[in-house]
Amino acid sequence: MIIHVPESSLDLANTKVLQVTENSKDFYTITVPIVGDDYNLFSNLTVTYSQNGENEGYQETIISRGLNNKIQIESYVNGKLMKSDLLNEEFLSNEQIKKDMQNVQKQGALLPQSRGVAAKIACIVVVLGISKYVATIIAGACVGSCPAIPVICAACIGGFVALGTGTMSSVVACFKL
């Protein structure tokens, strides 16, 4: 397995395991948070196994501080770079993200419905009870893999669900908007 972060940044003590059903098949995702000052709270390494215990692949989602303090998202599937984007959003500390998420959950904020990625972001905000900022990160990291490759979509979303709240099927439904 090829990983693109130092091994010391893998937070093995906070590993999460989820059972995921995709296209009537059960999978298990094992998500290890990637931690450090320059990594976003949702950076993770997620390995997916079939119901029979066969390795279906792995995905690294590295969300870090990029140029001009903007969010850099890199997604690797089975060691290969699949996506690298610099978002036009300021990189916030993990403490600020947690505070924003608590505020959104308290307010029960809903965003107006719209089309495309904006609709996906709005849906993710509602389903996970998170801020628009965090939903933008999730959409940016997973939007490319979800329509095309269900197992990789499950790994991507599974990583965020394991590190946050909500259910896998609810978040997957957001990507079908």
CB crowding 59-79: b at 16 or more within 10 Å, else e: bbbbbbbbeeeebbbbbbbee
Lowest mean pLDDT among 44-48, 66-70, 71-75, 93-97: 93-97
Domain count, the chain: 1
Contact 42, 16 (CB under 8 A): no
In a domain, 164, yes or no: yes
Q: Comparing 89 with 49, which gets the higher pLDDT?
A: 49
The listed range with the strongest mean pLDDT (41-55, 129-143, 156-170) is 41-55
pLDDT of residue 132: 67
pLDDT 10s digits, 167-176: 555 666 666 6
In a domain, 31, yes or no: yes
Q: Per-residue confidence at 6, pLDDT binned at 50, 70, 90?
A: very high
Residue with tokens 């329509």: 147
Would the pLDDT of 61 be above 80?
yes
pTM: 0.66
In a domain, 1, yes or no: no
| Residue partners of 99: CB distance under 8 A and separation at least 6 | none
pLDDT of residue 126: 60
Backbone dihedral region of 69: left (phi > 0), alpha (psi from -120 to 50 degrees) or beta?
Answer: left
Would the pLDDT of 28 be above 70?
yes
Mean pLDDT of the chain: 74
pLDDT 10s digits, 85-121: 898 888 877 777 767 655 544 444 444 444 455 566 6
In a domain, 12, yes or no: yes
The amino acid sitting at 171 is V
In a domain, 2, yes or no: no
In a domain, 96, yes or no: yes
In a domain, 98, yes or no: yes
Backbone torsions φ then ψ of 27, nearest 5 degrees: -130, 160
In a domain, 95, yes or no: yes
Range of the domain at 112: 7-174
Would the pLDDT of 10 be above 90?
yes
pLDDT of residue 110: 42
Q: Comparing 12 with 174, which gets the higher pLDDT?
A: 12
